[in-house]
Structures are given as structure tokens and as C-alpha cells.
């Protein structure tokens, strides 16, 4: 990795919603901003960032292996969330620790060059395909090493996944996700934390917790987890992504998923509810009263036809909004911001639901907070994690620099800085090179392991 400069100079920078010129950041040995000057000139040895510089993106929800599905699940007519899920299970079944490390390294490199410098990786592929545990935490350590190779900050959300649905056992393709019981998951989680602390600096890789969903974690297990989980850990869960999930939860418990979490004291500021697309007014009130985060994944929710979640209503209720790329149908933080605002416009018939500064806050601060990480940006005490954008590309020429969230894409990201160090330069990873080459190789190797062709798709629904 390139040596950390003593200072980073930005030609222009978006700071608290306004554009400042000649912003110079002093950076300490840990990559944290120590001091900020405006109207400054660069000093000898500074890392110079031209264009308009923004706090880097914090990816609040990722499934790295889903990247292999991009462009492969659109057969037309019979496509649904549930047919997509069958393709996802097939992809999960091909993973080995070595293949996963290679694939995740490529995905994280693509992510970083797009402007993300941290990621919450929601991982439930724990064991061998038949459910037999690996001798160590092989899959989780593979993800940690992939993040370290790519230079992206990782919060690995180790996921509890115990059931195939309300009152249903795990299906054969889900066996590698399960630990048998809440107590067994809690014990493995504790051992995993020790393994990560032994191998990784917490600034580069740390452990959080996740529940896959209320349909995958029985109610009695929720009670055990609420009593046994370290309250300091971030906790994430998929919530109300599909109407069918809500209907099944109501039939089984008489409550919505959010209400069920509230019943078991799992609603709190450390909770991040993923998607939260189909909520009733009481759900919104409960999440707001708890000070929880909702992680919207707009490009995934569009790709899977999930629907448009009530983002503005949640924000008005006191919910923090964060953004994730989820299945990586698109890996572009600028398109996630734009899709959030456009979804609100389409649902409400009103423009300007989120100001550009609000979109950046969701992208950067919201995602970092959901990971339990120090936020990136331009104030002392923040991480010196930044992304620079070309204001004169075919997409951005003529735009108000403060409104680039409404027109820029990852193609316009000219530099990405992690902890004061240049990590990506005009779409190329400084150490790993072209992410496209890495991805092509990794996907080819996964295909070879699965014995499939590049154009093969999966059909057939499983409700």
C-alpha cells in the first residue's frame, strides 16, 4: 500500500452540505483526521485530490457471493424473488474457503474503486455444504483476508440462520447456513470474535452480529439471543422485504416482524433493519422510537421487485437511513443515492424528498454508524476516507458541485482514499489492478467448480 501522506489536499470538498475550496486535512498515524484548514494551498508531500471530494461511501449491507448472479437471473416472464433465491442457493453451494476468498477479494476491489471504503458483510455461509463445520472459521477468515487484500474496512456480520421458514426445518441447500440452536450460534460467534481479534486489527476487520430474518430464527431463539448477545455488537436483520414474509409472520405469531423484534427487546439504536420495505405505521413508529437504522438497498430492491420502502417517512420518525449494495446487481454508491431519491419521487409524486446532503449522510455516516465504525469525512476525529469526483465528465459537466449526487456515477470517481492513503486511481485498484479482470477470473473459477456455463440460469420457484 502507498505510504500515508502527512496531509491530504482537496481542490474542492463537500463539507456539511456546502462546497469549500482548498481543504487540507492533517492525518494522524491511524488514518484519522487531526485538523482541517480551508482556503489552504497544498504542501510538499501532500496527497493532492483534484475535482470535488466527498466523504467515502460506507456500504451498510453486502452479500459478496451474490455478485456472481449479476446478469444471470433475468429469464423473463416467470422471474420472481423466489426464483432468484434458488439461483442464490446454487451459488452458495459452490463456495469453498479458497474460492470465496478469491471472489470476495474481487468484489471488495470493485467496491473500493467505486468509492466504498467500508462494508458490512452479512454472512451466513458458515459450514460445508452438508452442514459439517470446518475445522476453523474457514469461510469467515476467508472474508477477512479478502477485505485486507482489497484494503476495505470489514464489519463481518456473523448471521444466525436456524430455520427454513416458520415451523420449517432447514432445506438441504440451507444446511451450511445453520448452527442448530441459538446457543450454538452464540458460542461460535464468541469463538469467531477471538479468532478475528487474533488475526486482524479491528480498524481493518471486526465482528458484528446478524439474524437472517424472523422466518429463519424461531421466536424462542429470539428470546435466547436477546438475553445472550453482547449488547455492544451491531445487530442487523432482514425485515419485511416481501409481503409474503409479513403474512407468514402474522399467521405464526400474530405480529409483524418489527413488532416481534420489539416483543423480544431487540429494537434499539444498535439495530439495523435491512430493506424494511413493507411496513405498517406502527412498525415505523417502533423503529423511530428505538432510534434504529434502516438500511435501504434501492438498486437491489428494484432488481428483485421488492417494492419502494417508506424512506422519508422513516427518516421523519427518527430512523437513521443507511444505504447498501446488497446483491451487487449494481455496485455504485452514486446510483444507490439517486435510486433512494427517485424511489421516493415515484412513490410520492413529489421531488426533493431527500436533499443531496441527506443522501450523502445516509451513504457515509449512516453506513458507518450501522457498522459501529468511526464515520468518514472532513472534521477532526473522522476517518480520512474520501472519494474524489470529476466535475467535468459527460455526466457531471455543468452540474452544481453540491448536487453531484443527482448526476455522477462510479465512472466519475477519480480517486479513493482509505485512512489518508490512495487506494484506487481512476477505476484501478492501486495494488490489485483492474477489478474486472479479478472478477472475471473468480467467476470463471466458481463456474468451473459448479460445472455450469456462463449463460446458465436457474428456474423454478420455492415459496
Which positions are annotated as active-site residues? 275, 326
Query: Residue 70: is it exposed, middle or buried by C-beta count within 10 angstroms (0-12/13-18/19+)?
Result: middle
Residues 301, 307, 311, 313, Cα dihedral to 10°: -170
Retrieve residue 410's grid coordinates. Answer: 462510479
E-assigned strand segments in 70-204: 116-123, 153-160
Retrieve residue 26's grid coordinates. Answer: 492533517
Element (H, E) at 13: strand 7-15
* Sign, Cα dihedral of 207, 210, 212, 215: positive
CA–CA separation, 313 and 321 (whole Å):
11
CA–CA separation, 298 and 353 (whole Å):
15
Per the listing, cell 453540491 goes with 402
CA–CA separation, 34 and 379 (whole Å):
8
Find, among 213, 109, 27, 25, the residue nearest to 435 by Cα.
109
What is the chain's length?
463
Retrieve residue 270's grid coordinates. Answer: 444498535
Phi-psi domain of 389 (left: phi exceeds 0; alpha: psi -120 through 50; beta: other): beta
Rg of the chain in Å (alpha carbons): 21
CA–CA separation, 116 and 333 (whole Å):
7
CA–CA separation, 73 and 211 (whole Å):
26
* Sign, Cα dihedral of 240, 241, 242, 245: negative
Find, among 425, 417, 430, the residue nearest to 382 by Cα.
417
Q: Are 150 and 183 in contact (CB under 8 A)?
A: no
Amino acid at each position: 500500500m502507498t505510504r500515508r501522506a502527512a496531509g491530504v489536499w482537496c481542490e474542492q470538498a463537500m463539507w456539511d452540505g456546502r462546497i469549500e475550496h482548498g481543504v487540507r486535512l492533517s492525518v494522524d498515524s491511524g488514518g484519522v483526521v487531526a485538523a482541517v484548514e480551508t482556503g489552504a494551498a497544498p504542501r510538499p508531500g501532500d496527497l493532492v485530490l483534484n475535482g470535488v471530494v466527498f466523504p467515502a461511501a460506507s456500504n451498510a449491507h453486502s452479500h459478496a457471493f451474490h455478485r456472481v448472479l449479476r446478469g444471470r437471473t433475468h429469464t423473463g416472464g416467470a422471474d420472481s424473488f423466489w426464483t432468484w433465491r434458488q439461483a442464490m442457493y446454487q451459488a452458495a453451494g459452490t463456495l469453498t474457503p479458497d474460492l470465496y476468498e478469491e471472489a470476495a477479494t474481487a468484489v471488495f476491489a470493485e467496491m473500493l474503486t467505486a468509492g466504498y471504503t467500508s462494508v458490512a458483510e452479512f454472512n451466513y455461509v458458515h459450514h460445508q455444504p452438508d452442514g459439517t463445520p470446518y475445522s476453523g472459521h474457514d469461510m469467515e477468515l476467508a472474508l477477512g483476508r479478502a477485505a485486507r487484500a482489497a484494503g476495505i474496512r470489514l464489519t463481518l456480520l456473523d448471521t444466525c440462520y436456524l430455520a427454513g421458514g416458520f415451523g420449517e426445518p432447514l432445506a438441504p441447500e440451507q444446511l451450511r447456513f445453520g448452527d442448530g440452536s441459538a446457543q450454538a450460534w452464540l458460542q461460535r460467534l464468541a469463538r469467531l470474535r477471538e479468532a478475528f481479534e487474533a488475526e486482524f486489527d479491528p480498524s481493518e476487520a471486526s465482528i458484528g452480529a446478524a439474524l437472517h430474518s424472523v422466518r429463519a430464527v424461531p421466536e424462542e431463539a429470539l428470546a435466547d439471543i436477546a438475553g445472550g448477545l453482547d449488547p455492544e455488537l451491531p445487530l442487523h436483520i432482514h425485515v419485511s422485504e416481501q409481503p409474503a414474509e409479513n403474512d407468514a409472520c402474522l399467521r405464526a405469531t400474530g405480529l409483524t416482524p418489527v413488532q416481534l423484534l420489539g416483543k423480544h427487546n431487540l429494537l434499539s439504536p444498535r439495530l439495523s433493519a435491512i430493506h424494511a420495505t413493507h411496513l405498517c405505521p406502527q412498525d415505523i413508529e417502533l423503529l423511530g422510537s428505538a432510534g434504529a437504522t434502516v438500511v435501504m438497498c434501492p438498486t437491489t430492491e428494484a432488481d428483485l421487485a421488492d417494492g419502494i420502502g417508506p424512506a422519508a417517512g422513516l427518516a421523519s420518525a427518527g430512523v437513521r437511513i443507511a444505504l447498501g449494495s446488497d446483491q451487487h446487481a449494481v455496485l455504485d454508491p452514486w446510483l444507490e443515492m439517486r435510486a433512494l431519491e427517485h424511489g421516493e419521487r415515484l412513490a410520492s409524486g413529489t421531488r426533493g424528498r431527500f436533499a443531496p446532503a441527506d443522501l450523502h449522510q445516509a451513504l457515509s455516516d449512516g453506513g458507518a454508524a450501522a457498522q459501529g465504525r468511526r464515520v468518514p469525512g472532513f472534521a477532526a476525529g473522522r476517518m480520512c476516507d474520501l472519494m474524489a469526483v470529476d466535475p467535468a465528465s459527460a455526466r457531471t459537466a455543468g452540474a452544481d458541485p453540491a448536487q453531484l449526487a443527482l448526476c455522477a456515477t462510479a465512472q466519475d470517481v477519480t480517486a479513493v482514499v482509505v485512512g489518508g492513503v490512495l487506494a484506487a486511481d481512476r477505476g484501478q485498484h492501486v495494488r490489485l489492478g483492474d477489478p474486472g479482470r479479478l472478477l472475471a477470473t473468480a467467476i470463471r473459477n466458481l463456474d468451473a467448480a459448479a460445472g455450469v456455463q456462463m449463460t446458465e440460469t436457474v428456474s423454478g420457484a420455492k415459496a
